């Protein structure tokens, strides 16, 4: 007799409870072997004053079960609340977000009948560090953090996923023509890892044209790996163009924990009406069953779901007169899936997750990072100032320079405005003054920077932050 697998379940907010009831009903009737621990997460927890939306006891449950089936939550407005999804992904190291998006033509209306794309989104880094500051009256900043180990892990995961699932190509989307250091690193590491998998084709697209191509001819893509923000946006686009965002299930995978959820949100406008499509969470449950080694049950549920789709039983979001047969509510759709357990689709390709063993992609550990030499070469000093022109600022900051550090350029929102300026450039109250080492003054020390900052402050300027400039192995680690 197979033993039950402990899992943690959260009903979430909005349509969450309805679609979770539907998914658990299907899991129960399919005889999934689960020991379910229910935790409370989301809006009510936030409003009790728990800023993460999750009590410590909920984290304890996840640490014990290491498998989380989660319904969507509503994050209350306001800067005091942190995203529960982001916190969970980071706390448990869920670095890979896997989102299969396929069309079910001719049963669900779509402009893309041959679409079968898996989006693999980096889940822990990028702008989702959530480090934001208002620095001046006019300007706010959000830090985009990309690490080499983070890129290596996600790129390797994408190729291992492709190899394990008979996929022929991995595409990478970045904006490295603009963000040369951060997205540039993602692209560079992707190319390095791609070389380790010569039997799988690889390509890179700038994200804007890549996104346009994905929306136009998704059949040309197979597996796509992206930094966090692009993956977040484009996986919703990809799911929607298969027919409905309500169709998408996803897995958040870490080395020792995993979370499974629908890709959509809590859809508060249709909550409580028995209207929501539970397919995303049902398909997430299929991914979960495969992850924990209950592939037979995964196969049965997936095929019953495909058969219900083929039989034209559709929730409102996928219903189309002429194609659909019956507009089903959330509960009725789940019932239709249950009634088809044991049946296979007739026209759509049947699922067959044969072996009863965990279907998990386990990339090899990230390589030891090579030593790099690092040399301080200057400093960017960011100032809040609204008292005059770039030329005036340039004059004053030139005088504030020290024997070791000399002013080279001033920029405003990334546009150089000193020593050369265009009269048409609009300047805010947020300035960056770049000081670099004076030739022939020897090794630059942090004390030299402190002396410069002291001069700048004494000259009456407000420093809002500094950024050290380093060369790594002789190559500048900063953009112009
Ligand atoms: P949403 O995905 O909830 O809704 C977008 C649109 O899709 C709406 O028209 C909605 O009615 C429809 N829709 C979504 N899921 C559906 C389903 N299963 N069946 C039928 N129609 C469906 O996105 P939103 O409106 O931007 O966000 C609502 C809330 O959800 C916000 O508080 C947001 O923070 C939260 N959210 C949570 C998660 C998560 O918990 N994983 C993800 C995204 C958004």
For residue 192, give the 3-state DSSP assignment.
Answer: helix
User: For residue range 1-48, what is the model confidence (pLDDT) as tens digits?
Assistant: 568 999 999 999 999 999 999 999 999 999 999 999 999 999 899 988
Pocket test for ligand 1, best of 52, 84, 228, 267 (most atoms within 8 A of CB): 267
Q: Which residue has the higher pLDDT, 363 or 134?
A: 134
Pocket test for ligand 1, best of 130, 266, 283, 332 (most atoms within 8 A of CB): 266
Give the number of the atom of ligand 1 that is nearest the alpha carbon of residue 73: 40
For residue 112, give the 3-state DSSP assignment.
Answer: coil
The 3-class secondary structure across 225-276, one letter per residue, is EECHHHHHHHHHHHHHHHCCHHHCEEEEECCCCEEEEECCCCCHHHCCCCCC
In this predicted structure, what is the pLDDT of residue 83?
Answer: 84
Q: Are 384 and 462 part of one and the same domain?
A: yes
- Is the pLDDT score of 272 beyond 70? yes
Q: How far is the CA of 266 from the centre of ligand 1 (A)?
A: 4
Pocket test for ligand 1, best of 265, 274, 317 (most atoms within 8 A of CB): 265
Range name among 218-222, 377-381, 438-442 with the lowest pLDDT average = 438-442
Residue 277 Cβ inside 6 Å of ligand 1? The answer reads: yes
User: For residue range 386-402, what is the model confidence (pLDDT) as tens digits?
Assistant: 999 999 999 999 999 99
Residue 73 Cβ inside 6 Å of ligand 1? The answer reads: yes
Q: Are 281 and 238 part of one and the same domain?
A: no
In this predicted structure, what is the pLDDT of residue 82?
Answer: 82
Residue 284 belongs to a domain:
yes
- Is the pLDDT score of 359 beyond 80? no
Look at the pTM and tell me if it is higher than 0.85.
yes
- Is the pLDDT score of 382 beyond 70? yes
Pocket test for ligand 1, best of 54, 72, 81, 276 (most atoms within 8 A of CB): 72
Q: Are 121 and 222 part of one and the same domain?
A: yes
Q: Are 303 and 346 part of one and the same domain?
A: yes
Does the bond joining 26 to the residue before it have cis omega, within 30 degrees of 0? no
- Is the pLDDT score of 357 beyond 90? no
How many angstroms separate the most distant Cα atoms in the chain?
82
Give the number of the atom of ligand 1 that is nearest the alpha carbon of residue 317: 20
Q: How far is the CA of 267 from the centre of ligand 1 (A)?
A: 4
The residue segments making up the domain with residue 217 are 111-242
Residue 276 Cβ inside 6 Å of ligand 1? The answer reads: yes
User: For residue range 248-267, what is the model confidence (pLDDT) as tens digits?
Assistant: 999 999 999 999 999 999 99
Residue 106 belongs to a domain:
no
In this predicted structure, what is the pLDDT of residue 12?
Answer: 95
Residue 466 belongs to a domain:
yes
Report the percent of the chain where pLDDT is more than 90.
84
Q: Are 78 and 126 part of one and the same domain?
A: no
Residue 122 belongs to a domain:
yes
Q: Are 236 and 314 part of one and the same domain?
A: no
User: For residue range 78-122, what is the model confidence (pLDDT) as tens digits?
Assistant: 767 888 888 888 889 999 999 999 999 999 989 999 999 999 999
Residue 364 belongs to a domain:
no
Domain total of the chain: 3
In this predicted structure, what is the pLDDT of residue 225?
Answer: 98
Residue 368 belongs to a domain:
no
Residue 235 Cβ inside 6 Å of ligand 1? The answer reads: no
Range name among 55-64, 201-210, 339-348, 367-376 with the lowest pLDDT average = 367-376
Residue 236 Cβ inside 6 Å of ligand 1? The answer reads: no
Do 252 and 258 form a contact (C-beta atoms < 8 A)? Answer: yes
- Tokens 């942190």 -> residue: 82
Q: Are 335 and 253 part of one and the same domain?
A: yes
Q: Are 119 and 238 part of one and the same domain?
A: yes
Residue 280 Cβ inside 6 Å of ligand 1? The answer reads: yes
Across 450-455, average pLDDT: 98
In this predicted structure, what is the pLDDT of residue 322?
Answer: 87
Residue 282 belongs to a domain:
yes
- Is the pLDDT score of 345 beyond 90? yes
Q: Are 133 and 224 part of one and the same domain?
A: yes
d(CA 365, CA 160): 12
In this predicted structure, what is the pLDDT of residue 458?
Answer: 97
In this predicted structure, what is the pLDDT of residue 250?
Answer: 96
- pLDDT confidence bin for 197, thresholds 50/70/90: very high
Residue 22 Cβ inside 6 Å of ligand 1? The answer reads: no
Residue 78 Cβ inside 6 Å of ligand 1? The answer reads: no
User: For residue range 125-167, what is the model confidence (pLDDT) as tens digits?
Assistant: 999 988 999 999 999 999 999 999 999 999 999 999 999 999 9
Instruction: Residue 468: give its domain's CATH number.
Output: 3.30.70.1570
In this predicted structure, what is the pLDDT of residue 358?
Answer: 64
Residue 472's nearest CA partner among 399, 346, 387, 369 is: 369
Instruction: Residue 22: give its domain's CATH number.
Output: 3.40.718.10
Q: Are 14 and 126 part of one and the same domain?
A: no
Q: Are 223 and 251 part of one and the same domain?
A: no
Beta strands in 139-222 (DSSP E): 140-142, 169-174, 201-206
- Is the pLDDT score of 364 beyond 90? no
In this predicted structure, what is the pLDDT of residue 142?
Answer: 96
Query: Over the range 357-381, which residues count as b (16 or more CB within 10 Å of their CB) and which as e?
Result: eebebebeeeeeeeeeeeebbbbbb
Residue 100 belongs to a domain:
no
Residue 53 Cβ inside 6 Å of ligand 1? The answer reads: no
In this predicted structure, what is the pLDDT of residue 355?
Answer: 64
- pLDDT confidence bin for 366, thresholds 50/70/90: confident
Q: Are 200 and 275 part of one and the same domain?
A: no
Pocket test for ligand 1, best of 74, 264, 327 (most atoms within 8 A of CB): 264
Residue finishing a domain among 358, 387, 419: 358
Residue 469 Cβ inside 6 Å of ligand 1? The answer reads: no
């Amino acid at each position: 007799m197979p033993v039950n697998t402990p899992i943690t379940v959260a009903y979430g907010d909005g349509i969450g409870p309805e679609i979770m009831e539907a998914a658990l009903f299907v899991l129960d009737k399919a005889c999934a072997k689960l020991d379910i621990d229910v935790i409370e997460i989301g809006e009510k927890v936030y409003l009790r004053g728990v800023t993460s939306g999750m009590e410590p006891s909920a984290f304890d449950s996840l640490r014990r079960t290491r498998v989380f089936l989660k319904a969507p939550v509503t994050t209350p407005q306001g800067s005091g609340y942190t995203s529960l999804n982001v916190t969970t992904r980071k706390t448990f190291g869920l670095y890979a977000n896997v989102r299969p998006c396929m069309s079910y033509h001719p049963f669900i209306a779509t402009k893309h009948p041959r679409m079968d794309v898996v989006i693999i989104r980096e889940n822990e880094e990028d702008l989702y560090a959530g480090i934001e500051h208002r620095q001046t009256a006019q300007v706010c900043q959000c830090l985009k953090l990309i690490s080499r180990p983070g890129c290596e892990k996600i790129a390797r995961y994408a190729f291992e996923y492709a190899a394990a699932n008979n996929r022929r190509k991995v595409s990478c989307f970045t904006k490295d023509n603009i963000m040369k250091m951060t997205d540039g690193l993602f692209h560079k590491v992707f190319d390095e890892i791609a070389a380790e998998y010569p039997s799988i084709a690889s390509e890179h697209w700038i994200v804007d044209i890549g996104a346009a191509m994905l929306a136009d001819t998704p059949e040309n893509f197979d597996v796509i790996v992206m930094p966090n923000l692009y993956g977040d946006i484009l996986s919703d686009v990809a799911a929607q163009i298969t027919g409905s965002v309500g169709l998408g299930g996803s897995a958040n995978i870490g080395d020792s924990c995993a979370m499974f959820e629908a890709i959509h949100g809590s859809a508060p406008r249709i909550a409580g009406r028995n209207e929501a499509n539970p397919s995303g969470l049902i398909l997430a449950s299929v991914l979960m069953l495969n992850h924990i080694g209950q592939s037979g049950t995964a196969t049965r549920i997936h095929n019953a779901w495909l058969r219900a789709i083929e039989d034209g039983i559709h929730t409102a979001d996928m219903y189309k007169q002429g194609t659909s047969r019956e507009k089903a509510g959330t509960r009725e759709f789940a019932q239709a899936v249950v009634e088809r357990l044991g049946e296979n689709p007739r026209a759509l390709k049947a699922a067959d997750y044969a072996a009863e063993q965990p279907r998990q992609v386990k990339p090899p550990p990230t390589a030891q990072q090579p030593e790099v030499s690092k040399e301080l070469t200057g400093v960017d000093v960011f100032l809040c100032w609204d008292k005059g022109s770039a030329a005036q600022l340039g004059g004053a900051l030139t005088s504030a320079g020290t024997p070791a550090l000399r002013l080279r350029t001033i920029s405003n929102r990334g546009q150089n405005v000193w020593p050369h300026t265009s009269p048409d450039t609009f300047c805010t109250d947020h300035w960056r003054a770049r000081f670099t080492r004076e030739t022939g003054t020897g090794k630059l020390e942090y004390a030299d920077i402190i002396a410069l900052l002291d001069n700048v402050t004494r000259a009456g300027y407000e420093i809002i932050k500094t950024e050290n400039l380093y060369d790594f192995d002789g190559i500048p680690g900063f953009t112009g």
